[in-house]
């Protein structure tokens, strides 16, 4: 059964980016409902009822996060939207901002009202330069039509929204590094506590949520939290945007209701339409580059033999031994011709480059992992390198201020756990590996001992 479309219902309506068209299709009705019928605390309660979980990766209950916000008298509170979408394989937030920007602005107004924030920010990835103009145009249209500014809808509530462009640093996707950058400082993560809900932007209570999470607040208020919670299953309520890419016939953005099985998502014509050229499925990274890769047999079935479902609980079933994470919904599919070692090396290079360098396990360990993987990939590897990689990732995980260390360690650990034989093959068959992946003539010098 097709999933209900809550965020993408009008995605293909001509001109939906413009205020007039968006308004004709029910836009900003949640703002009217919230400000006219609910107190701020009642809006938060509706979000709690909905069971909405953060769509940026961690999956923490949104309403609960809002309820942690400190509310001291005379101190401003802030909502910051994390639009620093830099996770390899993830591009759903870009789609919302580029093609349906008003749904984010609408969600921000309702959320800011619930939080008692009179100034809110969108911190956007530096590489999304063209989207800044789209968002600022949407904000200007919303303000011109009375949805922003002073005394919105005559209810005595004031709100201004600003867009801040980041410098292109993946680390600023971590909420405290984002706050540091927004304050004009180097984007290094902060030690917690204090948490942003108590001491965030400029030392004031702050909530940071990602684009999809805040956009989902609009349909939640329109339909009611209880009805939203009926979509999906268990603690995986509502709909989820998935960025599908890799070896697929129909890559793109899909909105699912989290009862969809992984097999259905990959192979049905409704979604990704299978793998090109009749190739077999080898593996998949289901939640963006930082979550563990799974081989085909564990991707389609849990360890208990049940169908793996596209939701938080089912993907995590069995822990990292046999499961993975929903993460940010970056669904990267690999066919039988893909080289796991090569892809793991590419990810290790990314995390080494993006480490802020504040914590020595991450600063040094990500570089070591990349160098060792590069040696294995280019024909210089030793069997002892596999265990050395395992030891390094184990000493990075859980030993850094922010989760970037974990994000760098998990892909390496999962690749070794599930594809150790492929690592061994690279070490014992270097010429075949180089010929298959690159063409030996071009990389013949890689066979010279390091």
**Residue-range domain boundaries for the chain:** 19-230, 236-335, 340-447
Maximum Cα–Cα distance across the chain? 75
Question: Which pLDDT score, from 0 to 100, does residue 303 have?
Answer: 84
> Which neighbouring-strand residues pair with 123?
82, 164
| Domain 236-335 coded CATH 3.30.2130.10 | no
pLDDT for 220-275, tens place per residue? 999 999 999 999 999 999 999 999 999 999 999 999 999 999 999 999 999 999 99
Please name the residues in contact with 431: beta carbons below 8 A apart, sequence gap of 6 or more.
379, 440, 447
| Residue 436 banded pLDDT, cuts 50, 70, 90 | confident
* Ramachandran sector of residue 439 (left: φ over 0; alpha: ψ -120 to 50; beta: rest): left
Task: Enumerate the H helices of 224-354 as residue ranges.
Answer: 225-229, 262-267, 296-300, 312-316, 319-322, 340-354
Least Cα distance to 310 among 256, 274, 273 occurs for 256
pLDDT score recorded for residue 367: 97
Which one is the CATH code of 340-447: 3.30.300.30, 1.20.1440.230, 3.40.50.12780, 3.40.50.300?
1.20.1440.230
Render pLDDT for 322-377 as a digit per residue (tens, 0 to 9).
999 999 999 999 999 999 999 999 999 999 999 999 999 999 999 999 999 999 99
Nearby residues of 249 by Cβ (< 8 Å), 6 or more positions away: 272, 273, 274, 275, 276
Domains 19-230 and 340-447 fall in the same CATH topology: no
Q: What would the mean pLDDT of 202-231 be, rounded to a whole number? A: 97
- Tell whether omega for the bond before 439 is within 30 degrees of 0, i.e. cis: no
Q: How confident is the model at residue 443 (pLDDT cuts 50, 70, 90)?
A: very low
Question: Quick check: helix, strand or coil at residue 147?
Answer: coil
Among residues 254, 404, 276, 399, the alpha carbon closest in space to that of 334 is found at 276
Look up residue 238 and give its two tokens.
């509502």
Per-residue pLDDT tens digits for 33-67: 999 999 999 999 999 999 999 998 788 999 999 99
Beta strands, E only, 247-369: 252-256, 281-285, 294-295, 330-335
| pLDDT tens string 135-164 | 999 999 999 999 999 999 999 999 999 999
Element (H, E) at 289: none
User: What is the bridge-based pairing of β-strands 206-210 and 236-237?
Assistant: unpaired
Q: What are the structure tokens assigned to 360, written together? A: 């020595």
Q: What is the dihedral of CA 269, 272, 273, 279, to 10 degrees?
A: -160
Cβ contact 272:249 at 8 Å? yes
Residue 389 DSSP SS3? helix
Under DSSP, the state recorded for 447 is G
Tokens representing residue 275 in the block: 């793998």
Residue 439 pLDDT grade (very low, low, confident, very high; cuts 50, 70, 90): low
Give me the CATH topology for the region 19-230. Answer: Rossmann fold (3.40.50)
- Cα separation, 116 vs 104, in Å, equals 18
Assign 438 a pLDDT band (cuts: 50, 70, 90): low
Token digits of residue 304 = 């208990």
Tokens standing for residue 39: 């107190």
pLDDT of residue 447: 41
Per-residue pLDDT at 1 exceeds 70: no
Model confidence at 2, pLDDT cuts 50, 70, 90, reads low
Residue 393 pLDDT > 60 = yes
pLDDT over 90 (residue 450): no
């Amino acid at each position: 059964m097709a999933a209900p479309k809550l965020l993408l219902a009008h995605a293909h309506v001509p001109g939906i980016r413009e205020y007039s068209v968006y308004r004709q299709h029910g836009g900003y009705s949640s703002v009217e409902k919230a400000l006219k019928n609910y107190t701020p605390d009642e809006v938060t309660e509706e979000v709690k009822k909905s069971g909405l979980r953060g769509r940026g990766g961690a999956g923490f209950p949104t309403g609960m996060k809002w309820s942690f916000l400190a509310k001291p008298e005379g101190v401003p509170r802030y909502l910051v939207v994390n639009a620093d979408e830099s996770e390899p394989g993830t591009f759903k937030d870009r789609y919302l901002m580029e093609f349906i920007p008003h749904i984010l602005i609408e969600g921000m107004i309702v959320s800011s009202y619930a939080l008692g924030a009179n100034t809110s920010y969108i911190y956007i990835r530096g590489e999304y330069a063209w989207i800044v103009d789209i968002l600022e145009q949407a904000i200007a249209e919303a303000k011109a039509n009375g949805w922003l500014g002073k005394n919105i809808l005559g209810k005595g509530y004031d709100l201004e929204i600003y867009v801040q462009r980041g410098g292109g640093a993946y680390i600023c996707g971590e909420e405290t590094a984002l706050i540091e950058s927004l304050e004009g400082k180097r984007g290094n993560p902060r030690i917690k506590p204090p948490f942003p809900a108590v001491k965030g932007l400029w030392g004031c209570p702050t909530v940071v949520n990602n684009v999809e999470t805040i956009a989902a607040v609009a349909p939640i208020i329109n339909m009611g939290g209880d009805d939203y919670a009926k979509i999906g299953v268990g603690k995986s309520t509502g709909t989820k945007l998935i960025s599908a890419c890799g070896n697929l016939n129909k890559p793109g953005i899909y909105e699912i209701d989290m009862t969809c099985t992984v097999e259905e998502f990959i192979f049905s014509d409704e979604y990704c339409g299978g793998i090109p050229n009749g190739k077999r499925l080898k593996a998949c990274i289901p939640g963006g580059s930082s979550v563990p890769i799974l081989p085909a047999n564990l991707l389609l079935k849990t360890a208990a033999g049940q169908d793996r479902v596209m939701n938080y609980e089912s993907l995590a079933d069995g822990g990292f031994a046999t499961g993975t994470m929903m993460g940010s919904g970056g669904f990267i599919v690999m066919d039988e011709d893909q080289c796991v070692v090569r892809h793991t090396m590419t990810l290790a290079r990314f995390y080494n480059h993006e480490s802020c360098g504040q914590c020595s396990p991450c600063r040094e360990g990500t570089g070591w992992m990349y160098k060792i993987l590069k040696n294995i990939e280019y024909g210089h590897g030793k069997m002892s390198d596999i265990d050395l990689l395992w030891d390094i990732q184990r000493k990075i995980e859980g030993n850094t201020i922010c989760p970037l260390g974990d994000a760098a360690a998990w892909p390496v650990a999962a690749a070794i756990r599930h594809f150790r034989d492929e690592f061994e093959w690279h070490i014992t068959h270097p010429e075949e590996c180089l010929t298959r992946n690159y063409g030996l003539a071009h990389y013949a010098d890689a066979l010279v001992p390091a």
